[in-house]
Amino acid sequence: MALSLTPTQARLLRFIAGYQAAHGGVSPTLEECRRALGQKAKSNICRMMSCLEERGAIRTLAGHARAIELIERPSIPSIGGAPLYAVPLIPSPSMIFSGERP
């Protein structure tokens, strides 16, 4: 099943999958997702997670931290089997000009 995701939603889905692969199935926190995607607020991540859940890409368990189940697994770039979940494909312009580090 092909999902119609925005580029940012696809980046979030890849980050979650890569993070889980690198950490034995443990999901990232909202703060870790925020930093990885270069977002200013965790509410943006919450909104994207809701969209991913509505589109059937993930399932979350309300009231539990780090409870994200991937239903649609994206391809994850890797080197020697280690996922490159923390490497952003393209830094956002706000990160470049503000000097913020992910």
pTM value?
0.73
Return the ∠ at Cα 42 (arms to 9 and 26), rounded to 5°: 70
- Helix (H) or strand (E) holding 70, with range, is strand 68-70
- 35 φ, ψ to 5°? -65, -40
What percent of the chain clears pLDDT 70, i.e. is strictly above it? 74
Q: Is the model more confident about 97 or about 31?
A: 31
| Res 13: pLDDT | 92
Domains and CATH numbers, the chain: 7-73 (1.10.10.10)
Residue 76: what residue type? I
